[in-house]
Amino acid sequence: MLTDWNGIAIAAFSKAAAAFGEKRYSDAARGSIEFIMRNLFREGRLLHRYREGEAGIMASVDDYAFFVWGLLEYYESVFDEKYLALAISLCRDQFEHFWDEEFAGFFFTADDSEALIIRQKEIYDGALPSGNSVSILNILKIARLTADPELEEKAARMAAAFSSQISRHPASFSMHMNSLDFMLGPSFEIVIAGDRNSPETRRFLDALSGEYLPNKVVILKDEENEEEISRIAPYTQGHSPINGKTAAYICSNYECRLPTDDPARMLELIREGKSIDKVPG
């Protein structure tokens, strides 16, 4: 059982659960997440593999990147904030042990792994995406979810660091191009404020699932998780239902439109935002 491959599977099952509303997919994703949380951590650090009852091998950047990717996708399929908090925590650990402060990007091995002559950085996206390509997208999503400009800056540094290599043959870096598409925008930060168990809230979530919107992050905020969500994403403190009805707050690059209590209007606001031509500075 490999952490990195399971991270990809978690992301896939979570996307399927959100798109098709199939609980069996989210159950499969949760089962894998819970297994990793129980068996593949040692002294707070992630491990790479589990075999015949034994976990071992310090995690590589792929293990961190792919598992964080899975956690972020899973959060947006079930909106249990503990998985979002875990993704953010693991992202911090990844920076602590893999980040190249001088030239940007993540080394494949941790700073306290077995000593090597050269610590390599992978960027090529083949049958599996590279840890660096996935990490850029993870960092951008966490930055938008938490309104953290330092993470945005680090993602931009990574894009610049690899730009010369990628510009020579962009078709070999498909996941990285997805991350750049999110970075250049338009992308959206969407907060749904309302009772997660209400039919109204479900209509908003179903409307989002029915649209192809890869460049978005979504937060669900209700009375049960208000304190934790406000801690993770302080900018949501003023986001609340409208006259007791579920409301959607649509933002792009931290600029927000007036909230709406109509799912159809929510999609209109997103489409209007997508039609705006944005030229990178």
Domains of the chain in start order, with CATH, are 3-109+121-184 (1.50.10.20), 188-274 (3.40.30.10)
Q: Which of 260, 252, 92 is nearest to 187 (CA)?
A: 252
For residue 43, give the DSSP letter.
Answer: T
The predicted-structure confidence for 151-171, as pLDDT tens digits, reads as follows 999 999 999 999 998 999 889
Q: Residue 196 half-sphere exposure, CB side, CA atoms within 13 Å?
A: 15
The pLDDT value given to residue 279: 41
Burial class of 54 by CB neighbour count within 10 A (0 to 12, 13 to 18, 19+): exposed
Distance CA 65, CA 70 (A): 9
Q: Which of 107, 87, 101, 13 is nearest to 46 (CA)?
A: 87
Distance CA 72, CA 250 (A): 19
In this structure, the strands spanning 216-221 and 188-193 are parallel
Tokens representing 34 are 């819970």
What is the average per-residue pLDDT within 36-58? 93
Q: Is the pLDDT score of 226 beyond 80?
A: yes
Tokens representing 51 are 């075999």
Q: Which of 229, 278, 231, 225 is nearest to 252 (CA)?
A: 278
pTM above 0.85, yes or no: yes
What is the average per-residue pLDDT within 23-34? 97
What is the average per-residue pLDDT within 226-251? 93
Distance CA 103, CA 126 (A): 23
The predicted-structure confidence for 65-102, as pLDDT tens digits, reads as follows 999 999 999 999 999 999 999 999 999 999 999 999 99
The pLDDT value given to residue 276: 61
Q: Between these two residues, 113 and 82, which has the higher pLDDT value?
A: 82
What is the average per-residue pLDDT within 217-241? 93
The pLDDT value given to residue 280: 43
Distance CA 236, CA 221 (A): 8
What is the average per-residue pLDDT within 177-200? 94
The pLDDT value given to residue 118: 78
The predicted-structure confidence for 243-264, as pLDDT tens digits, reads as follows 999 999 999 887 888 999 999 9
Backbone angles phi, psi at 30, to 5 degrees: -65, -40
Q: What is the mean pLDDT of the chain?
A: 93
The predicted-structure confidence for 121-156, as pLDDT tens digits, reads as follows 989 999 999 999 999 999 999 999 999 999 999 999
